[in-house]
Structure 1
Amino acid sequence: MNRIVFISKKAVELFILFFLILTVLFFLFRLAPGDPVTRMVDPMLTPEDAAHIIEQMGLDKPLTTQYMIYVKNFFTGNFGFSFHYGEPVARVIMARLPCTLLLFTTSTLLAALAGVFLGKISAWKKGSRMDGVLSISALVCHTLFVPWFALMMLWMLGFQVGWFPLGGIISPELWIEDAPFGLKVLDVIHHMILPLLTLFIIHVGSYLLLMRSSMLSVLKEDYILTARAKGLTDRVIRNRHAAKNAALPVVTSVGLSLAFSINGGALTEQIFTWPGIGRELIFAVSNNDYPLAQGCFLLIAAVVLSANFIVDLLYAWLDPRIHY
């Protein structure tokens, strides 16, 4: 199939799927129990004032009318106003997005690089003591219960030892006093180390096991035997011939992990009080802030769909046998 035709068909499919997600999210939130007014106003508010607020939010209109307005606003770049913050949803999301990208993209890339390197070493030394240690360690990391492990890391390294802050992304006193820029950067890094280390340990095992499994399969291929027959060194065979093809499933996993990192790992952000998209998403859903919750979910959906599309294209670049 011609690449242009493939890209065009894929783009149409993604647009239709995204529109379906948009529709489902709209009705799903409005059919959920509760309403934003009872959570955001004084319980002593008179029924007349409450009705006025509902009218201002547009929640007094029929669902179909609300839906048509929402779709029209969405495709004109208007994501609505957060019921809680009283600000445009786009502004609230953009204020939280850099924190999420900083932490989760960094942890995903570091875990992927370490997992790929250790995975190919483990597969190359299959059956050795090193392979056993790496495989068992990876299984332990892969099966860790995320909330429990995050709380243990916070308790041990934050509370008991006191090496790291117990939460947040900055020390307010440094920023209020307008400390030097370099000191502020170090302060952010200091706050980020503990959640970064937690996420790294949790994810590195899955990448290691995936790379090891893929590498073992590739090492059985005929072209590996041919490379050995040519007298190529083990290092060249492992890194240039085997590892590149073995990385195909890892690329898919990393691409999707980076996409899903946009949601910030809601539980992780909540435990470390990291001010990102995931923590904001929990707040929006629990407080029936429809526009903000929809905006967060739609951002996640758009990034995940785009990541799938990019991974499909990367496959053809990594493996010449794949054509579109």
Structure 2
Amino acid sequence: MREYIVRRLLYTLMTLFAVATILFFLFRMLPGDPTAQVISPALDEVAQARLKQAFGLDQPLHIQYLLYLKNLFALDWGRSFTSSRKVFDIIQYRFWNTIFLMGAGMCLTLMVGIGMGMVMAWRRNGPLDLWPTLGSLIFQSAPPFITGLLLLMILSYRLDLFPTGGMRTPGVQLTQGMGLFLSWDFIHHLILPTLTVSLYYLATPMLIMRDSMLEVMGSDFIELARAKGLKPHVVMIRHAARNALLSVVTVSSILVGFAIGGQVIVEQVFSWPGMGSLMVEAASSHDYPVAQGTFLVLAIVVIFLNLLSDISYCYLDPRIKLGDR
């Protein structure tokens, strides 16, 4: 198992290097002059040269690339073309906002999806199987902004149960550190966007868990467990569910990648100050240091979650351990 984990770590580092390289050259091949935001053509040549030197744009491309790789490890990702603030400081604030929203949405999706998939497989072709399938497919067919707008219209504007947007109520005294994200005001603003994310992605883990459970429940070891006289819920949870989870773990890492991409829409609907909205702002203003850093951070999150998914296989599937031996 140790060799398997080391091998996956090496693949992860190679993937990160490839992603960082692609992002560097991709943003420099885009049409338009991103330096026009800070280097006006009306300035004299000396002032333009000084500004280019300050932003590191006076060096040849291969020198810029080597400095870019060096600064990545030092967390020095340059400065924004529009605000002149450090890119890492800008991303750091928005990053945790997106992580809490995405984490809450994915946790709710996986918990409800896995639990409902188990029940649907156990009550196959019954009301507890048909109605959740129909409801989840309807929400998956609707775009996230439609679901979000419907939740806002009903629960915010009509019933006045939740805020209409943002991450905190203006005028509310804020706490410091993690207390900000654990305050009731933050959680109150978090509920509707979390519900929007969860409803859109719920069908995937739920139906995969259902199909995997049905396949596992026809196996010989399930019949043996029943023959031993084990209680039905013990057979379902300890034997069938654990083996069925392999398929859900596989798709969950892919699902997180789609969820991160979909965060842009959800954050725009609920005015959530996260990485998605920052990505849109940076792209529209040609602020490629911020856009480049935003894409890189989101790629790191997806790659890291894929690594966790691969490592979790070692504990869920004994065949990987046997293969290493």
- Displacement after TM superposition at 1:54 (Å): 3.6
Amino acid aligned to 2:268: Q
Is the CA contact 2:55–2:78 (under 8 Å) kept in the aligned structure 1? no
Whether the aligned pair in 2 keeps the contact of 1:158 and 1:165 (CA below 8 Å) is: yes
Equivalent runs, 1:1-324 vs 2, <5 Å? 3-39=1-37, 45-46=42-43, 48=45, 49=47, 52-175=50-173, 185-258=183-256, 265-323=263-321, 324=324
User: In 2, are the aligned partners of 1:264 and 1:277 still within 8 Å (CA)?
Assistant: no
1 CA distance for matches of 2:252 and 2:130?
Answer: 24
- CA deviations over 1:270-320 (Å, ceiling 9, x no partner): 221101112112212222222222222222222222222221221121122
What TM-score results when the alignment is normalised by the length of structure 1?
A: 0.88
AA in 1 matched with 2:98: T
CA distance in structure 2 between the aligned counterparts of 1:116 and 1:13, rounded to whole angstroms: 29
Provide closer, same or farther for how the CA distance between residues 4 and 232 of structure 1 changes in structure 2, counting only shifts above 3 A.
closer
Q: How many residues align?
A: 318
What is the identity, as a one-letter code, of the residue corresponding to 1:88?
Answer: K
Asked if the contact 1:260/1:304 (under 8 Å) is kept, the reply is: no
Contact 1:122 1:131 survives alignment (8 Å): yes
Q: Percent identity?
A: 36
Across the aligned residues of Structure 1 and Structure 2, the Cα RMSD in angstroms comes to 2.7
Distance in 2 separating the partners of 1:121 and 1:75? 47
SS of 1:87's equivalent?
A: coil
1:62 Cα offset (Å):
2.9
How has the CA–CA distance of structure 1 residues 160 and 61 changed in structure 2, closer, same or farther, with 3 Å as cutoff? farther
**Distance (Å, rounded) in 1 between the aligned partners of 2:42 and 2:51:** 11
Point out the more displaced range, 220-229 or 84-93: 84-93
CA positional deviation for 1:188? 1.5
Q: Which amino acid aligns with 1:209?
A: L
The SS at the match of 1:58 is coil
Question: Is the 1:139–1:205 contact (alpha carbons within 8 Å) kept by the matching residues of 2?
Answer: yes
Give the whole-Å Cα distance in 2 for the aligned partners of 1:82 and 1:268. Answer: 25
- 5+ residue gaps, structure 2, are none
Q: Distance in 1 between matches of 2:132 and 2:262?
A: 28
**CA gap 1:9/1:185 in 2 versus in 1, 3 angstroms:** closer
Tell me the secondary structure at the aligned position of residue 171 of structure 1: coil
Distance 1:280 1:244, change over 3 A: same
TM-score where L is the length of structure 2: 0.88
Distance 1:296 1:104 in 2: 15
Q: Deviations over 1:197-239 (max 9, x none)?
A: 2112112222211111111111111111111222222111111
Partner Cα distance (1:131, 1:263) in 2: 30
